[in-house]
Amino acid sequence: MKNIAVIGAGTMGNGIAHVFAQNNYKVQLIDISKESLSKGLATITKNLDRLVAKDKITEIIKQETLNNITTFTSIVDGVKNSDLVVEAATENIALKLKIFKELDEVAPKEAILASNTSSISITQIAAVTNRPEKVIGMHFMNPVPIMKLVEIIRGYSTSQEVTSIIMKLSESLGKVPVEVNDYPGFVANRILMPMLNEAIETLYNGVAGVYEIDTVMKLGMAHPMGPLQLADFIGLDVCLSILNIIYDGFKNPKYAPCPLLINMVQAGKLGIKTGEGFYDYTENRKAEKISKQFS
């Protein structure tokens, strides 16, 4: 297994492509947007330059990594020789189902199809293909080149052989794969998102401010990043989408997203990506956002 197709050149896609390419896999990075491909390659180059500057890799390894990546705007051309396809498109169920239907038609019959989804059912994705036993989840963590965990999600029909192959493949990237079963939110987000949501509820109820909530969790619970800062980093729209998927899956009120989160997303305050969320990033500072505006 040496030819890896990665669909999506955004934050997760370019990170996944980077990690595979740096570990001597041939990577076909696919995105319908040439601009996104250019930005993705620029990000990979910047991250490699940072590693060179820190003497963690050599200039030769940097060039070899970049040489291992070929870009495509066509899924058909990009996946035709792939052993593994890793889909890292937007966390949208309709889009993912559409992509996997196409992949099933154009990817080699022996190819394994993986999704980097953080919450969408692998079983549901696999059901639109004629190879459900070869469909699996590979949930990388952001930033991909740094974070060690890969959550390996086994769908209802995923074979043991495919699971073992992907576990070993993840280890070859220097990652720590953890196998989980296919239930809403898997493990990572089933635990993380309710915690972030509870932090937002705490703010919404006026118990404490943004800085105070994050400081309690950083200093008291040894979290490297406060929950509200982390929500900004992930993207409040992504947090809302995941919470809705978990809530729909379990129909349990404890997973219902906080009204403040819903209103902030509706107002376009999505976190770092828009320059403002619970913190203000527009002037390179962290200013608290007055929650009353959105309550």
SS3 state of residue 238: helix
Mention every residue, 6+ apart, whose C-beta is less than 8 A from residue 216: 208
Q: Which of 14, 118, 170, 197 is catalytic?
A: 118
Q: Return d(Cα 167, Cα 150) in angstroms, integer.
A: 9
Q: How far is CA 7 from CA 53, 83, 288, in A?
A: 29, 14, 36
- Catalytic status, residue 23: no
Place of tokens 């200039």: 59
Please give the DSSP secondary-structure letter assigned to residue 258. P
Written as six digits, the tokens of 95 are 């889009």
- Catalytic status, residue 244: no
Structural contact between residues 153 and 182, judged by C-beta atoms closer than 8 angstroms: yes
- Catalytic status, residue 189: yes
Q: Which of 14, 68, 170, 189 is catalytic?
A: 189
Q: Can you say which residues are annotated as belonging to the binding site?
A: 8-13, 31, 91, 96, 118, 142, 273
Q: Which of 3, 18, 115, 139 is catalytic?
A: 139
Q: Which of 3, 36, 151, 170 is catalytic?
A: 151
Q: Return d(Cα 117, Cα 105) in angstroms, integer.
A: 21
Q: Which amino acid is at 272?
A: I
Q: Can you say which residues are annotated as belonging to the binding site for NAD(+)?
A: 8-13, 31, 91, 96, 118, 142, 273
Q: Are strands 26-30 and 69-72 parallel, antiparallel or unpaired?
A: parallel
Q: Return d(Cα 48, Cα 50) in angstroms, integer.
A: 5
Q: Return d(Cα 212, Cα 36) in angstroms, integer.
A: 37
Q: How far is CA 109 from the centre of its chain?
A: 26
Residues with catalytic function: 118, 139, 151, 189
